Amino acid sequence: MGILEGKVVLVTGAAGGIGKECALIAAREGAKVVVNDLGGSVKGGDAGDASAAQKTVDEIKKAGGEAVANSDSVSLKSGAENMIAQALDTFGGLHSIISPAGILRDGMFHKMPDEDWDAVLEVHLKGSYNITRAAINHFREQEEGSFVLFTSTSGLIGNIGQANYAAAKMGIAGLSRIIAMEGANKNVRSNIIAPFAWTRMIATIPVKDEASAQRVERMKNAMRAEQVGNFSVALASPQCKTSGQIFSVRGNEIVLFSQPRPVKSVARVDGWTPETILSHGIPAMEGGYTDLGATASVFTWEPV
User: What is the model's pLDDT at position 201?
Assistant: 57
Q: What is the pLDDT of residues 52-98, one digit of tens each?
A: 999 999 999 999 999 999 999 999 999 999 999 999 999 999 999 99
Distance, CA of 148 to CA of 98 (rounded, Å): 5
Q: What is the pLDDT of residues 221-232, one digit of tens each?
A: 789 999 999 999
pLDDT-derived band of residue 190, with 50, 70 and 90 as boundaries?
A: very high
pLDDT at 192 over 70: yes
User: What is the model's pLDDT at position 1?
Assistant: 86
Distance, CA of 290 to CA of 88 (rounded, Å): 46
User: What is the model's pLDDT at position 120?
Assistant: 98
This prediction has a pTM of: 0.93
Do residues 32 and 67 touch, judged by C-beta distance below 8 A?
yes
User: What is the model's pLDDT at position 42?
Assistant: 86
Could you tell me where the DSSP H helices lie in 184-268? 210-222, 225-236
Distance, CA of 128 to CA of 100 (rounded, Å): 9
Q: Is residue 287 part of a domain?
A: no
User: What is the model's pLDDT at position 144?
Assistant: 99
Distance, CA of 81 to CA of 149 (rounded, Å): 17
Could you tell me where the DSSP H helices lie in the chain? 17-28, 51-62, 77-91, 114-121, 127-142, 153, 163-183, 210-222, 225-236, 274-276, 282-285, 295-298
Q: What is the pLDDT of residues 159-172, one digit of tens each?
A: 999 999 999 999 99
Do residues 121 and 168 touch, judged by C-beta distance below 8 A?
yes
> What domain count does the chain have?
1
Q: Is residue 304 part of a domain?
A: no
Q: Taking residues 201-217, what's their average pLDDT?
A: 69
Q: Taking residues 208-214, what's their average pLDDT?
A: 75
Q: What is the pLDDT of residues 254-289, one digit of tens each?
A: 999 999 999 999 999 999 999 999 999 999 999 999
Catalytic residue among 91, 117, 165, 247: 165
Distance, CA of 304 to CA of 288 (rounded, Å): 30
- Quick check: is 289 catalytic? no
Among 163, 157, 158, 48, CA closest to 101: 48
Distance, CA of 220 to CA of 197 (rounded, Å): 7
Query: HSE of 262 in the Cβ direction (CA atoms, 13 Å)?
Result: 4
Could you tell me where the DSSP H helices lie in 143-286? 153, 163-183, 210-222, 225-236, 274-276, 282-285
Q: Decide which of 117 and 217 is more confident.
A: 117
Domain with 193, as residue range(s), is 8-259
User: What is the model's pLDDT at position 204?
Assistant: 57
User: What is the model's pLDDT at position 202?
Assistant: 60
Mean of per-residue pLDDT scores for the chain = 95
Q: Is residue 299 part of a domain?
A: no
Which domain CATH number covers 183? Answer: 3.40.50.720
Q: What share of the chain is helix, strand, coil (3-state, %, to 5)?
A: 50, 15, 35
pLDDT at 22 over 70: yes
Crossing angle of helices 225-236 and 17-28, rounded to 10°: 50
